[in-house]
Chain A
């Protein structure tokens, strides 16, 4: 029993980390209306940008900011040049172009850094024991950072003008435009912030393990699973989905063995979508 409880705690922790890129992905979907597959490349890019900043002597927070900024800017540039011009033909061409630009990023990073593994030089400490359950102080720290970022996103969406504008144009672009919200600007901010969050996610997930050009590709399906489970385009849905996927993936280790981890996420999607074709929380952005 305590094994399952421990798995639950582990799942909550990894779910928190997963939530950050999942929010980014789903927020972009809410505004731009296509599934942006380049998140795999962007997550890797964020991880490498954060790594470079950290190696150059920046603190953790500073490195996260660097990951956010680089991933956001590059993501924005890709959206502008490669993806969004295709959206008028439908979501699919844009999605396919984004698969290609994810590949472009992966290989640009490979051109520059090679395939070598790199790791953040962070202290590794023994776990803290709370009763039968153990948690690692580092993971608590990363989890805290992830939670703070999520809170900031929610606050921004709820209280700032641009946040409100984003929600408005996600729910009803025409109405939002009538109200004087410039869709172009909202789209650009969605790209920048969404991709930035994905970049931070890549770095957060790389903090504890190691990074290489395939870092993003390894977490791509989990990000998608989280966003789809919660309802594509719903920010709270992405958070809920991320927790559920995180927990399901850890519990699956005990039940079917960890090789089928991805399959568990996929099955969860199928089950939920059969009952609720628009995901758990529907598609309202907020």
Chain B
């Protein structure tokens, strides 16, 4: 197992290098450059050149890439073109906010989706199943920016039950309830679509397993229904769900770009958006690589979980 994990981690290195080259290239293709956005009618061409020189943008792109890669290997993510702050600091001060949001919404998704999926599958074509099916199609179809805005308008602005945005009340001491209060709406919005999707997957997966021979055998042996469902059926039904989970992990970053913007949640999604509009190359690259690592990691975790769930799988 350990050998397998090490092998897998080593395999990610060429993948990440490939991703970094492609993203670096694509980023350069985007029209506009960092200095162009800094409009000042009085700046002279010489100064503009000096600024480009300082940012290292006058060099050929492969040279820029190698310099960037060299710095990354030494653990230096560089500093932002726009704010001149250390990129690693900019990310670490925002990362906890995004992680809290992601983890909460993942837990919400799992806690809600898997049981509902199971109930739907066991009681297939029951009233409950129809209600859940309807609800999950509803959930999948709602765009999260719209849902977010509606929740803000009704629950925050009109009823005043929730804060409009932010991670906590300004200026206050750290307060867990206050934090949870701020967290609930954005996490819910982020979880909605995934919840619905996961419910459907769980249901399908359970339905497939439900009529397998070994489930019938288990019943025939006289096991209690609960044991049959959870011990025999669910464990096998979980396999495709783990794959799904591995794929979902990186989408939380994508989803959080929108949700963080709406709920003024100071996480890395917001940073991503800003840096893209401002062509802040060092920040864009750092975040892209972060996303790439997350994808690779998500898949690795999924593979390891397979072994945990299915004893037949050995690495």
| A is bound by B | no
| Residues of B bordering A, CB below 8 Å | none
| Residues of A bordering B, CB below 8 Å | none
